[in-house]
Amino acid sequence: MLTFKKTTLALALAGATLATAAHANEVEVLHWWTSGGEARAANVLKELMEAEGYGWQDFAVAGGGGETAMTVLKSRAMSGNPPSAAQIKGPEIQEWGELGLLGDLNEVADAESWDELLPEVVADIMRYDDQYVAVPVNVHRVNWLWANPAVLEAAGVEMPTTLDEFFAAGEAIREAGYVPLAHGGQAWQDATVFESVVLGGQGSEFYQQALVELDPEALGGEQMVAALEDFKRTRELMDEGMSGRDWNIATAMVIEGTAGMQLMGDWAKGEFTAAGLTAGEDYLCAAAPGTEDAFTFNIDSLAMFRVASDNEREAQQVLARLVLEPTFQEAFNLAKGSIPARPDLDMSEFDSCAQQSLADFQRTAEEGGLVPSMAHGMAVRADVQGAIFDVVTNYFNDANMPAEEAAQRMVRAAQAAAF
């Protein structure tokens, strides 16, 4: 995350040659696609690059939310040695663009008609100063509920569609001898559950006001207090061993049948797929309780850094082209659990969860329920996101903190981070 001062980085880079560790006809790609399904998905792009005669230098940094990867990227950028491409998304693309470090992809964008190919909400995020500087890999839906049907059946419950049904189902699952809600006690995972609860209980209009526009009246008001109280209730459905658990280990709890449900983005589906499970039979998916008319999106993208070598720049252009070609879009998203960034592809090979996701993405874009994920770096700047994370996690783990106090802390945190 870009928590350092932009002027500091600009001065550090003044006069530096933006060379990377990649060699001619090769791209060095920094990413955090390291879990089973994700790693398999990333390898597809590597193979496509190599098939066209270009090298791929893998720079994978573990950590589901990408915080560690961004720390490494800052260090590399500070030394004037960024990678050829890096997994950057949302407002951070604009921040790196303001530093003057990103390369221009307009040539390949024009040749491949990206303006016509991509939905405007996706294309706009990929541009800085009217120039394409990044290429979208996929569209993730964050507000998903995953469940093991055998556990639900044992508990005598169905997939919940409201928060009230969700809490009632959780209690029944616990009484049946299972962990109701699989979770990993990490800040970004806490925030993922939090934003789905805000959306499910208070609606997309309030979500937009509070977690995107950072309206202090929304952040500190009665609706946020109610959302925070609902959020704290979800902790009662989790097991005591959740602290520090990675998200994919939590997903494995649902896969193995030790837990009934998980609130997590659709990258979790990549884990179900890697385990050989079938959507609608071996596992169930549905919009997070209360969010059927909303879609929180998280768009993975690769931003290209300025490089000195013409050969490396050529390799970057090839990488950008391949990312949006049907071969990669289909293979990557089938493995990753997400949906293609381009909506014109044949979805017949995708499972029912992905088909529902694409339909909901298009519908909510038209109806006004499409909102960027705060928890996954799409809604606010990294420093603001970090401040909200701190409040959310501290409140979640402090049994004595009232929701009213947490709401006021959120207002102060957002205001302090804005300056």
Under the banding of pLDDT at 50, 70 and 90, the label for residue 250 is very high
Per-residue pLDDT for 173 more than 50? yes
Distance CA 194, CA 188 (A): 10
Gap between the Cα atoms of 382 and 384, Å rounded: 5
- Write out 171-195 in H/E/C secondary structure: HHHHHCCCEEECCCECHHHHHHHHH
Range from 129-138, 221-230, 366-375 carrying the lowest mean pLDDT: 366-375
Predicted pLDDT of residue 64 = 63
Length of the chain counted residue by residue = 419
pLDDT at 36: 76
Q: Are 319 and 302 in contact (CB under 8 A)?
A: yes
- On the question of pLDDT at 418 being above 70, the answer is no
Q: What is the mean pLDDT of the chain?
A: 91
What does the angle CA 167 – CA 171 – CA 177 come to, to the nearest 5 degrees? 145
- Residue from 239, 277, 244 nearest 259 by CA: 239
* pLDDT tens digits for range 320-350: 999 999 999 998 888 888 999 988 899 999 9
Lowest mean pLDDT among 15-24, 364-373, 399-408: 15-24
Tell me the HSE value of 80 on the side-chain side, using a 13 A CA sphere.
Answer: 11
More confident: 164 or 267: 164
d(CA 315, CA 251): 36
Q: Would you say the C-alpha torsion 79, 81, 83, 88 has a positive or negative sign?
A: positive
pLDDT band of 365, cuts 50, 70, 90: confident
Share of the chain above pLDDT 70, in %: 93
Which tokens sit at 200? 């499910």
Fold of the domain spanning 141-297+361-417: D-Maltodextrin-Binding Protein; domain 2 (3.40.190)
Rounded distance, CA 292 to CA 317, Å? 38
Higher pLDDT, 17 or 117: 117
In the 3-class helix/strand/coil scheme, how is 231-270 assigned residue by residue? HHHHHCCCCHHHECCCHHHHHHHHHHCCEEEEECCCCHHH
Q: What is the arithmetic mean of pLDDT over 53-73?
A: 86
Contact 54, 315 (CB under 8 A): yes
The H or E element containing residue 83 is: none
- The answer to whether 271 and 36 have CB atoms below 8 angstroms apart is yes
Architecture of domain 6-137+300-349: 3-Layer(aba) Sandwich (3.40)
Q: What pLDDT score was predicted for residue 23?
A: 58
Name residues whose C-beta falls within 8 Å of residue 328's C-beta, 6 or more positions apart in sequence: 44, 45, 48, 322
- Res 22: pLDDT: 53
Quick check: 303 and 86 in contact, CB under 8 A? yes
| DSSP H or E segment with residue 370 | strand 370-372
How do residues 184-237 score in pLDDT, each as one tens digit?
A: 999 999 999 999 999 999 999 999 999 999 999 999 999 999 999 999 999 999
Higher pLDDT, 22 or 48: 48
Q: What is the pTM of this model?
A: 0.85
Alpha-carbon span 348 to 164, nearest angstrom: 35
pLDDT at 12: 45
Residue 305: band (very low, low, confident or very high) from pLDDT cuts 50, 70, 90: very high
Domain with CATH 3.40.190.10 in the chain: 6-137+300-349, 141-297+361-417
Are residues 119 and 275 in contact, defined by beta-carbon separation less than 8 angstroms?
no
